[in-house]
Amino acid sequence: MTNTSHEVVKGPHHSGDAAPIALSAHSITKRFPGVLANDSVDFDVRAGEVHTLLGENGAGKSTLAAMLCGLYQPDSGYLLRNGQQIALSSPRAGLQHGIAMVHQHFRLVERFTVAENVVLGSRDLSFTLNRKTIDEKVAAVAESYGLPIDPQAIVGELSVGQRQRVEIVKALYQGAEILLLDEPTAVLVPAEVEKLFENVHAMTAAGKSIVFISHKLGEVVEISDRVTVLRGGRVTGHVSGRGSTDTKELARLMVGRDINLSTQRASHATGHEVLQIRELSLASEGVDILSNISFNVHEGEMVGIAGVAGNGQRELADTIAGLISPTAGTISIGGAMTTDRGPIAARELGLAYVPEDRLGMGLVPSMSILDNLLLTRDRHIVVDRASVRPEANRLIEQFEIKANDADHVARKLSGGNAQKVLLARELSGGRAATKLLVVCSPTRGLDVGAIETVRRLLDDARSAGQAILLISEDLDEIMSLADRILVLYRGAIVHETSGEAAQLATVGAAMAGLKTEGAA
Amino acid sequence: MRAPFRIIFEQRSETPKYLAAFVPLVSVLAALIAGGLFLMATGYSVSETYGNMLSDGFLSSSGITDTLGLSTVLICTGLCAAFAFQMNLYNIGGEGQLYLGMLGGAWAGLALGPHLPSIIAVPTVLLIGAGFGAAWIFVPAFVRSRLGTSEIVSTLLLTYIAASVLNHFVYTPNSYFRAPDVSFPMGRAVSDSAQLSAIGDTRMYPTFFLIVALALFLFWVVKRTEFGYRIQVISDSPRAAHYAGINARRTTMQVMLISGALSGLGGATLIVGEFGKLDQGVLLLGYGYAGIVIAALARNNFAAIIVSGILFSGLRVGGDKLQITTDTPIHIGVMLQGAILLFALGGEAFRRYKIRAVRMQAVAQ
């Protein structure tokens, strides 16, 4: 078999029903232990269109995409490429048929240049690399799709958006006609998303097919020619026509019921300062991670920390929780200093902490819900599980955790239920009644139904007078929940605004370091 | 066109309960079959050899008591290995800690024994033996918990040093531990008050019951106490331990010291039991290494170690007697131990994966 990259997709008639079907999947079924990930799913994508796979986490969209590009093989069902049946035993086989996936987590060698990364894995390389030729070829491919990129730049020095562009150029260089983009916007700031969508349009204009995988309704409506909605491994709906769909309808198809994600911002006056941070700095191995941060969080107030991942958010949360000692500055909770006193001292002053990493940090995966409740509490020398069990059962009921009983192992909980267990433990207090809740990316990876619940729980906690520090990469979440927004960029607070006055464009620009995309 | 079959390993979402007992049993059976093939290939009768081993190791009255007697030290070294393994600490130097336990026990028996009544002398020997075992692992434990230095290498290398230390005290003329007035180098017998007498006509000592009780106690400690809870959190997710303010360094230190003490205790049971003196013969017996296999077969379950310790002990007793009663080489017993370890480790795959044959690419036409 030779590759099909020489195949010509004709001219400007790239949209509409006239374009031929480039790739189709027919009654695809894939089963994993205990899960029917795809249940006779049909899907097709035409040349020159954007066809979105929309669904909650666990709906089976990534599984389907993995089978479309050869990463997994279906248990039953088949694929047609330009009407011909194909069997993809590996991603390389997929590539030979012009199908490539751009993964959510990039697979790039950080120390290599852009061009080196792009040609990595190509089979037509000579033994010695002629850098000049390669650089020119890579630049030519990139430019022809309006993806400006410096072939000689070191990947490790590029922004996330630029790295994603390298991945896309790599797929195009390898002759991809069909690109599967797996949650491509999850890691991008708003300006980068806009740029990505421009690139997507340039590619479809050139006759490429894009399979766009997402669970964010707004962007799906904006970018898609057609949308296929998956729920529980099955197709629950097809919608076509760009912009003509309303998000409520898509949400209903996705979740199976009506959803309300809007929350009431606190209207009541906020109380005393609960968390006080003064001139906090943290350096590690000579690198400044946090520099000179000062802010307060009051009773009944939710302060949101916005920022692109890796700008010090995780370290800020860990420092407040007493897991890391700052290089300089002070932290106090309820007026008492907690700097350098460790996590237990902070908890005794009313700290609760929901880390970003639920299983593995917040929860012990092999342990039961009951034992996980004990994790941040005072345990006696002989652990008295019997006395905790009634409380565990009460929390399971109160937080609507779907579990057989308190002995249900954390690993076997869904993402949403694991998060509920974590919130149940942290909100119900342990060593002291909870005064301050530090919560990181509380809804990341959760399905819409669980997002709704988690946001309601945070809202309730705020109404109950707890101070909340919400750290999230999801700007929409922060914009809709927080009373006050601080933007963290390279470890410093670069922007502050009230929740009502916040402008998406301004906050987005601050997240990107006040530079517009492309100028970098 | 016929689609070819392929074998796929499918990860289990959950290990069925029955497999937990089934896999070790099958491992032992498979090892016996492998050993049987070897016996056949080398011209020995399988049924006769295994029959003898079974009766000499388990069924005859002298066989079973010998087995239980030997199992005392093997359960100790098994507990030693499992106690560290459960927290992903690979103390494979139980052998060396056993030698030191014997040395410490012998010292206590020689120096303190004469001044103490038996009821105090025997526990003293056991405790000091355990203390010496813990002391021998102190440096590996310290560097592991502070600097993350591999305990695998450090504990193993210390075993060779421990062997030399033991030899030194037995061979050096005028050594405190060496029997005087005997030209052949051998240990000096500890005082009578520091020795237990065997139960009745057997080679079994009351320490067996003590060690079984200890194994059950440790089982309880791990399941029910805060210390056991901490061990579980750290072994599963060190980051969760950090998050909860659990001091992993200190727990690492504690777990390794207890592990060393358990092997040391095993060494001391030899002093109050069948050896009664520092004896270089122990260097050839590999009790400490056997503990690793015993722990693996029991999957670090302290109650199951009692069973796997007795099983191993029986294989050794039966194997040793083969040499005396028939011309079958003694090594068949050792070989079976090795085979059991291999099959037990291989059996892990069956616990974690379902193995299925499927047709390639079922195609709908």
pLDDT in tens, A134-158: 888 888 888 888 788 888 999 888 8
Residue pair A322/A343 in contact by the 8 Å Cβ criterion: yes
CB contact under 8 A, A27 and B364: yes
Residue pair A64/A43 in contact by the 8 Å Cβ criterion: yes
The single-letter DSSP state of residue A450 is: H
Alpha-carbon gap, residue B230 to B236, rounded angstroms? 10
pLDDT bin (cut points 50, 70, 90) of residue B184 is: confident
pLDDT bin (cut points 50, 70, 90) of residue B79 is: very high
Residue-by-residue DSSP string for B25-36: HHHHHHHHHHHH
Residue pair B280/B116 in contact by the 8 Å Cβ criterion: no
Is the pLDDT higher at A15 or at A138?
A138
- At position A202, the amino acid (one-letter code) is A
State both tokens at A456: 């309601």
CA dist B315 to A64, A423, B40, B301, Å? 53, 53, 19, 20
pLDDT of residue A265: 63
Residue pair A464/A436 in contact by the 8 Å Cβ criterion: no
pLDDT bin (cut points 50, 70, 90) of residue B135 is: very high
pLDDT of residue A516: 37
Residue pair A225/A51 in contact by the 8 Å Cβ criterion: yes
Alpha-carbon gap, residue A460 to B273, rounded angstroms? 67
State both tokens at A344: 């237990």
For tokens 């009654």, the residue is: A27
Of B54, B95, B63, B58, nearest to B78 (Cα)? B95
Alpha-carbon gap, residue A368 to A348, rounded angstroms? 24
Mean pLDDT of all residues in A390-403: 90
pLDDT of residue B4: 64
Residue B259 distance to chain A (closest CA, Å): 20
What value does the mean pLDDT of chain A take?
A: 85
- Give the nearest partner residue to A355 out of B243, B362, B364, using CB atoms: B243
pLDDT tens per residue, range A196-213: 899 899 999 989 999 999
- At position A447, the amino acid (one-letter code) is D
Alpha-carbon gap, residue A66 to A91, rounded angstroms? 9
3-state class of A306 per DSSP? Answer: strand
Mean pLDDT of all residues in A409-438: 89
pLDDT bin (cut points 50, 70, 90) of residue A272 is: confident
pLDDT bin (cut points 50, 70, 90) of residue A2 is: very low
ipTM of the complex: 0.84
pLDDT of residue A520: 31
**How far, rounded to the nearest angstrom, does the alpha carbon of residue A104 sit from its chain's CA centroid?**
8
Residue-by-residue DSSP string for B101-144: HHHHHHHIIIIIGGGS-HHHHHHHHHHHHHHHHHHHHHHHHHHH
CB contact under 8 A, A364 and B232: yes
Q: B243: which chain A residues are within 8 Å (Cβ-Cβ)?
A: 321, 323, 343, 353, 355, 361-362, 375-376
- Give the nearest partner residue to B245 out of A26, A343, A362, using CB atoms: A343
Mean pLDDT of all residues in A222-236: 89
CA dist B25 to A49, B18, B312, Å? 59, 11, 13
pLDDT bin (cut points 50, 70, 90) of residue A8 is: very low
pLDDT of residue B170: 92
Of B216, B215, B195, nearest to B206 (Cα)? B195
With a cut of 50, say whether residue A11 has pLDDT above it: no
Of B206, B213, B234, B248, nearest to B79 (Cα)? B213
pLDDT bin (cut points 50, 70, 90) of residue A267 is: low
- Give the nearest partner residue to A360 out of B13, B226, B240, using CB atoms: B240
Question: Of the segments A371-385, B124-138, B279-293, which one has the largest average pLDDT value?
Answer: B124-138
pLDDT of residue A268: 56
Q: A344: which chain B residues are within 8 Å (Cβ-Cβ)?
A: 245
**Torsion sign (Cα): A160, A164, A166, A167:** positive
CB contact under 8 A, A375 and B362: no
pLDDT tens per residue, range A449-504: 788 889 989 988 998 889 999 999 888 889 888 999 999 988 999 999 888 888 88
pLDDT bin (cut points 50, 70, 90) of residue B156 is: very high
Alpha-carbon gap, residue A147 to A517, rounded angstroms? 12
Is the pLDDT higher at A238 or at B78?
B78
Of A328, A501, A345, A354, nearest to A440 (Cα)? A354
Using an 8 Å CB-CB cutoff, list residues of chain B that contact chain A. 10-14, 224-229, 232-233, 236-237, 239-240, 242-245, 354, 361-364
- At position B147, the amino acid (one-letter code) is L
Alpha-carbon gap, residue B54 to B50, rounded angstroms? 6
- Give the nearest partner residue to B243 out of A362, A374, A412, using CB atoms: A362
State both tokens at B23: 């896999």
Q: B227: which chain A residues are within 8 Å (Cβ-Cβ)?
A: 381
Q: Which residues pair with A237 in a beta bridge?
A: A229
With a cut of 50, say whether residue B363 has pLDDT above it: no
pLDDT of residue B310: 95
Residue pair B354/B13 in contact by the 8 Å Cβ criterion: no
pLDDT of residue B364: 38
Residue pair A234/A227 in contact by the 8 Å Cβ criterion: no
Q: B239: which chain A residues are within 8 Å (Cβ-Cβ)?
A: 357, 360-361
What percent of chain A is modeled with pLDDT above 70?
91
For A67, nearest residue in chain B (alpha carbons): B361
CB contact under 8 A, B239 and A357: yes
H helix and E strand count, chain B: 13, 2
What value does the mean pLDDT of chain B take?
A: 88
With a cut of 50, say whether residue B327 has pLDDT above it: yes
pTM above 0.90, yes or no: no
The single-letter DSSP state of residue A266 is: P
Mean pLDDT of all residues in A12-35: 75
Of A305, A229, A304, nearest to A263 (Cα)? A304
Alpha-carbon gap, residue A57 to A68, rounded angstroms? 18
3-state class of B360 per DSSP? Answer: coil
